[in-house]
Structure 1
Amino acid sequence: MAEDDQVEVKFRLFDGTDIGPNKYDPSTTVGSLKETILLRWPQDKEIVPKTINDVKLINAGKILENNRTLAESRVPVGELPGGVITMHVVVRPPVYDKNNEKQLANAPKQHRCACSIL
């Protein structure tokens, strides 16, 4: 496939940092993009996704499905030729089972602000 047909995408993380931009073939699946994100995830982040199911990609306000291709997920309105598409990355918080909840309940409490803004 020609270089001109590729789509340039960068991924914006929850704290405003970016992964990319990199060029991808339009037939690349969203699941493959998520695998790329996991491989390139910055090591200095406190929140780290474990699997592609822990990551959600959002483009133009729509959550992208793993089995869809990049071409199917693009929103053509407002895109400039040669422009970079920014997809937002949301990480699902870890799910705790009942055993972990008991351990968390018995753990020492951290100091938290109890302020109310009126």
Structure 2
Amino acid sequence: MAGDDLIELKFRLLDGTDIGPNKYDLSTTVESLKKNILNIWPAGKEISPKTINDLKLINAGRVLENNRTLAESRVPVGELPESVITMHLVVRPTTTDKNNEKQLVKAPKTNRCSSCTIL
């Protein structure tokens, strides 16, 4: 593996914190990159992904597809040699199950804002 075949990536979370930077081979698939992210996910985060399907990687405004490699997914415009590429990492919220939905529907509705009046 030559040094030219590696890129340095960091992943920006919604709260502004980063995972990485780490070096990855250009032949790495997005799917295996997401598996690695699951393994190094920081403890104590309010939202945590359970599977790779809960993660969405975005590079230069494009959502990366699991079956593509980093070489196929990368946008060369604006990248400088020896620079760290920042990708946005979005965690999709987990869907609620049917039992929780029923409980939410049956729950009494309350006004959350005590200073507002709805006419």
Pick the structure with greater CA Rg.
Answer: 2
Q: What do you get for the CA RMSD once the two structures are aligned?
A: 2.1
TM-score by length of structure 1 reads: 0.88
The 1:40–1:75 alpha-carbon spacing in structure 2 relative to 1, beyond 3 Å, is: same
- In structure 1, the partner of 2:3 is 3
Offset, 1:5: 2.2
State the percentage of identical aligned residues.
Answer: 74
TM-score by length of structure 2 reads: 0.87
SS in 2 for 1:37: helix
CA distance in structure 2 between the aligned counterparts of 1:35 and 1:107, rounded to whole angstroms: 38
- Of 91-100 and 47-56, more deviation after overlay is shown by 91-100
SS in 2 for 1:78: coil
Q: How is 1:54-73 mapped onto 2 (pairs within 5 angstroms)?
A: 54-73=54-73
The answer for unaligned runs of 5 or more in structure 1 is none
Q: How many residues align?
A: 116
The 1:85–1:113 alpha-carbon spacing in structure 2 relative to 1, beyond 3 Å, is: farther
The answer for unaligned runs of 5 or more in structure 2 is none
The 1:80–1:114 alpha-carbon spacing in structure 2 relative to 1, beyond 3 Å, is: farther
- Cα deviations by residue, 1:11-44 (Å, 9 ceiling, x for unpaired): 0011000000000000000011111111111111
- In structure 2, the partner of 1:75 is 75
